[in-house]
Amino acid sequence: MSELQADILVAGAGPAGIAAALAAADCGCQVIVIDDNPRPGGQIWRGGPGSHLPDKALQALEKLRQHPHIRLMPATRLVMRIREGAYLLEENQQASQLRAEKVIICTGARELLLPFPGWTLPGVTGAGGLQALVKGGVPVTSQRIAIAGSGPLLLASAHTARKQGARIVGLLEQQSWPAVVAMMAQLWRWPSKLGQAITLFNRHYRADSYVTEALGNNCLEAVKIRQGGREKTIPCDRLACGYGLVPNLQLAELLGAEHDSDGIFVDEHQRTQLPGIYAAGECTGIGGSELSIAEGTIAGYCAAGHPQHATPWVARREHWQAFALLLKQGFSLKSELKNLVSDTTVICRCEDVRWSEVSSLENLKHIKMLTRCGMGPCQGKICHSSLRFIKPMTGSQARPPVMNARIDTLCLPDEQSPYSPT
């Protein structure tokens, strides 16, 4: 097992992680950046045959790769904390022990997928999932695609699919028209977002609309929707359905950083309550790439011991925090979405657990022990978030490792194991 040393470990190579790494490295710190994806950029700056990254993304990625004080480790995961300042990493076929004085958590967010009858049919994905597939080169030319859920990701996903030749047959926002119009009326405060909304707007966009069932035998054939109180069926080849984003909190839970379902708690310097542990980006609250860059830059400078360099970024952070609040209020999820599941609806896709098996339980630990819900390859990332939305849940507590790891990675010498008696 190799040993690594750095002043600062940045966990996550999306916009926040890249900004944090560059800020800290420019102050002379030795920085290691890890990400479990094969390429840096996160979900929003994802490369691929069908992607067209903005200039600022290309410039940031090039600086990240070329900076002499930054070591980029793609396809690498932080498995556990061995002890304070020492961490166990896993990459490809080998493991490493890393000593780092400080850590900046930039683990981003993932889509919130809510279960409904038929959501496990082939052809049904998340809205962000569809966008990732198209950017990765999956052909969608002439395919009929319905996109549903909530938030600006629906428009972005539709735009990406259309550019690759797809036919958008439905673009369905669950929130009401008054809520959408009220939010749009405030976008003049963020001119770039207003221009983006105008550019991405699609004639198939409908508010007060959501999917109630995906129809088909062996694959998706149509979707049943509720639109303004009326039911309608739309034939389609693909359905992309996502209800916004939720922060990735597994690493924060493992390290013991205080948080709630909206994100990790940080102060004005992006510090958590733990000494030497910072957090930035979507894992501290959903807000978009501009807010992530501002928070990441502040975290990088402050972790490097130069908070004065972060001062110009504070106003930018506040500006984009206001935008994040507008989105949160404008795209809040309706309570009707909690009632889409039936007894036979699959809740945990990995372990094929149905709603009837968990509907009477309110403790996530009990659900896991009795049904294996959350014990599959995704380790509860999908089902736990949806269960928490559908009904109040208790009993969630992360334990190492926070993701799948090889046995030989976990076989530390006794004196290094976090489980050794002291």
What mean pLDDT comes out for the span 50-61?
Answer: 84
Which of 15-24, 39-48, 53-62, 225-234 is least confident?
Answer: 39-48
The dihedrals phi and psi of 409, each to the nearest 5 degrees, come to -65, -40
Distance CA 345, CA 116 (A): 6
Query: What are the boundaries of each domain within the chain?
Result: 2-110+246-327, 113-243, 341-413
Q: What is the pLDDT of residue 46?
A: 78
Beta carbons within 10 angstroms of residue 297's beta carbon: 26
Which residues neighbour 413 within 8 Å (Cβ) at sequence distance 6 or greater?
none
Interval 275-317: pLDDT, tens: 999 999 999 999 999 999 999 999 999 999 999 999 999 999 9
User: How far apart are the C-alpha atoms of 138 and 164, rounded to whole Å?
Assistant: 9
| Element of type H or E holding 242 | strand 238-243
Q: Which pLDDT tens digit goes with each residue over 173-208?
A: 999 999 999 999 999 999 999 999 999 988 999 999
Using CA atoms, how far apart are residues 337 and 314, in angstroms rounded to an integer? 37
Mean of pLDDT over the chain = 92
**pLDDT tens column, 365-374:** 888 889 998 8
Give residue 363's pLDDT: 86
Q: What is the mean pLDDT of residues 140-165?
A: 95
Burial of residue 404, with CB atoms counted within 10 A of its CB: 0-12 exposed, 13-18 middle, 19 or more buried: exposed
At 396, the pLDDT band (50, 70, 90 cuts) reads low
Residue 326 has pLDDT above 90, yes or no: yes
Confidence at residue 206, expressed as pLDDT on a 0 to 100 scale: 95
Buried b / exposed e across 70-106, counting CB within 10 Å, b at 16+?
Answer: bebbeebbbbbbbeeeebbbbbeeebbbbebebbbbb
Residue-level pLDDT at 154: 96
Question: Among 133, 105, 112, which Cα is nearest to 402's?
Answer: 105
Residues pairing with 277 in the sheet = 103
**In 287-406, where does DSSP find H-type helix?**
289-303, 311-330, 355-358, 364-371, 383-390
Lowest mean pLDDT among 205-219, 346-360, 389-403: 389-403
Nearest to 290 by CA among 323, 257, 266, 334: 323
Average pLDDT over residues 393-422: 68
Residue keyed to tokens 């470990």: 9
Whether residue 398 is predicted with pLDDT greater than 70 in this model: the reply is no
pLDDT at site 414: 55
Give the lowest-confidence range in 251-255, 276-280, 366-370, 413-417: 413-417
pLDDT band at 380 (very low <50, low <70, confident <90, very high): confident
Contact criterion met (CB below 8 Å) for 150 and 174? yes
Measure the CA–CA gap between 84 and 12, rounded to whole angstroms.
20
pTM score over 0.85: yes
Rounded Cα distance between 212 and 231, Å, is 9
- Residue 161, classed as helix, strand or coil, is helix
Query: What pLDDT band is residue 362 in, cutting at 50, 70 and 90?
Result: confident
Q: How many residues does the chain have?
A: 422
Contacts of 26 (CB under 8 A, 6+ apart): none
CATH of domain 113-243: 3.50.50.60
Residue 47 has pLDDT above 50, yes or no: yes
Do the first three CATH levels of 2-110+246-327 and 113-243 match, i.e. the same topology? yes
pLDDT, residue 422, reads 47
According to DSSP, residue 227 is labeled: E
The yes/no answer on whether domain 2-110+246-327 falls in CATH 3.40.50.1100 is: no
